[in-house]
Structure 1
Amino acid sequence: MDTPATPNKAPWPQRQPHLFLLLAALLWALIYQALDPTAEALVALLPVERTSHLGGALQFFFYDTPKVLLLLIGVVFVMGMVNSYFTPERTRVLLAGRSEGLANVMAASLGIVTPFCSCSAVPLFIGFVQAGIPLGVTFSFLISAPMVNEVALALLFGLFGWKIAALYLSLGLSIAILAGWTIGRLRMEAHLEDWVREMPRFQASVDADTLTLTDRIDAGRNSVREIVGKVWPYILVGIAVGAGIHGWVPQDFLVQIMGKDAPWWSVILAVLIGVPMYTNAAGVIPIVQALLAKGAALGTVLAFMMSVIALSLPEAIILRKVLKVRLIATFFGIVATGIVLVGIIFNTLV
Structure 2
Amino acid sequence: MSVAERLRARTPTRRWVGMGAAIVVWFTLYEVNLPTWDWLVYDVVGLDVASRLGSGVHFFFYDSVKIALLLIGIIFAVTVLRSFMSVERTRALLGGRREGAGNVMAAGLGVITPFCSCSAVPAFIGFVAAGVPIGVTMSFLISSPLVNEVAIALLFGMFGLGPTLLYVGAGLVIAIVAGYALGRFRVERWVEPFVFETRLGGQVIDATFALTWDDRIQMGIEEVGSILRKIWPYLLVGIGLGAAIHGWAPEDFFARYAGAGNPFAVLIAVGIGIPLYSNAAGVMPLVQALHDKGLPMGTLLAFMMAVVALSLPELILLRRVLKPPLIATFVAVTGAGIVAVGYLFNAVIPL
Q: Name the TM-score class by shorter chain.
A: 0.5 to 0.7
Cα distance in 1 between the residues matched to 2:213 and 2:147: 27
Q: Does the Cα contact within 8 Å between 1:271 and 1:340 map onto a contact in 2?
A: yes
Cα distance in 1 between the residues matched to 2:285 and 2:239: 15
Cα distance in 1 between the residues matched to 2:148 and 2:90: 28
How far is the alpha carbon of 1:89 from its aligned partner?
Answer: 2.2
- 1:232 alignment partner in structure 2: 232
Cα distance in 1 between the residues matched to 2:85 and 2:263: 41
Cα distance in 1 between the residues matched to 2:283 and 2:309: 15
5+ unaligned residues in a row in structure 1: which ranges? 1-6, 125-139, 185-205, 278-283, 320-327
Q: Does the Cα contact within 8 Å between 1:246 and 1:290 map onto a contact in 2?
A: no
Residue identity in the other structure for 1:105: A
Residues 264 and 142 of structure 1, relative CA distance in 2, 3 Å threshold: farther
TM-score (norm 1): 0.55
How far is the alpha carbon of 1:27 from its aligned partner?
Answer: 0.7
Cα distance in 2 between the residues matched to 1:288 and 1:80: 28
Cα distance in 1 between the residues matched to 2:15 and 2:257: 48
Cα distance in 2 between the residues matched to 1:49 and 1:291: 17
**Which deviates further from its counterpart, 141-150 or 34-43?**
141-150
Percent identical residues: 25
5+ unaligned residues in a row in structure 2: which ranges? 110-122, 155-167, 187-205, 288-299
Equivalenced residues, count:
279
Q: Does the Cα contact within 8 Å between 2:266 and 2:339 map onto a contact in 1?
A: yes
Q: Does the Cα contact within 8 Å between 1:303 and 1:339 map onto a contact in 2?
A: yes
Is the counterpart of residue 66 in structure 1 residue 69 in structure 2? no
Q: Does the Cα contact within 8 Å between 1:71 and 1:158 map onto a contact in 2?
A: no
Cα distance in 1 between the residues matched to 2:342 and 2:304: 8
Is the counterpart of residue 302 in structure 1 residue 300 in structure 2? no
Is the counterpart of residue 220 in structure 1 residue 227 in structure 2? no
Cα distance in 2 between the residues matched to 1:63 and 1:71: 12
2:8 alignment partner, SS class: coil
Residues 307 and 246 of structure 1, relative CA distance in 2, 3 Å threshold: closer
Cα distance in 2 between the residues matched to 1:257 and 1:76: 45
Cα distance in 1 between the residues matched to 2:341 and 2:15: 44
Residues 334 and 304 of structure 1, relative CA distance in 2, 3 Å threshold: same
Residue identity in the other structure for 1:172: A
Equivalent residue runs for 1:167-182 within 5 Å: 171-177=174-180, 180=183
Cα distance in 1 between the residues matched to 2:63 and 2:261: 28
Is the counterpart of residue 30 in structure 1 residue 33 in structure 2? no
1:64-90 deviation per Cα after TM superposition (whole angstroms, max 9, x unaligned): 221222223222222222333453322
Residues 17 and 143 of structure 1, relative CA distance in 2, 3 Å threshold: same
Residues 94 and 295 of structure 1, relative CA distance in 2, 3 Å threshold: same
1:8-48 deviation per Cα after TM superposition (whole angstroms, max 9, x unaligned): 88354876443233211211121122222321222233264
Q: Does the Cα contact within 8 Å between 2:75 and 2:224 map onto a contact in 1?
A: yes
1:99-127 deviation per Cα after TM superposition (whole angstroms, max 9, x unaligned): 4xx34434786899884899x9xxx9xxx
How far is the alpha carbon of 1:342 from its aligned partner?
Answer: 4.9
**Which deviates further from its counterpart, 71-80 or 8-17?**
8-17
- 2:245 alignment partner in structure 1: 245
How far is the alpha carbon of 1:149 from its aligned partner?
Answer: 5.0
Q: Does the Cα contact within 8 Å between 1:175 and 1:339 map onto a contact in 2?
A: no
Cα distance in 1 between the residues matched to 2:268 and 2:100: 29
Q: Does the Cα contact within 8 Å between 1:270 and 1:304 map onto a contact in 2?
A: no
**Which deviates further from its counterpart, 34-43 or 212-221?**
212-221
1:177-217 deviation per Cα after TM superposition (whole angstroms, max 9, x unaligned): 36656x79xxxxxxxxxxxxxxxxxxxxx957844433332
Larger CA Rg, structure 1 vs 2: 1
> What's the Cα RMSD here?
5.4
Q: Does the Cα contact within 8 Å between 2:7 and 2:218 map onto a contact in 1?
A: no
1:285-311 deviation per Cα after TM superposition (whole angstroms, max 9, x unaligned): x6446962662556534345555679x
- 1:145 alignment partner in structure 2: 137
2:133 alignment partner, SS class: helix
Residue identity in the other structure for 2:176: L
- 1:132 alignment partner in structure 2: none
1:34 alignment partner, SS class: helix
Residues 260 and 230 of structure 1, relative CA distance in 2, 3 Å threshold: farther
Residue identity in the other structure for 2:17: L
How far is the alpha carbon of 1:144 from its aligned partner?
Answer: 3.1
**Which deviates further from its counterpart, 238-247 or 108-117?**
108-117
Q: Does the Cα contact within 8 Å between 2:135 and 2:181 map onto a contact in 1?
A: no
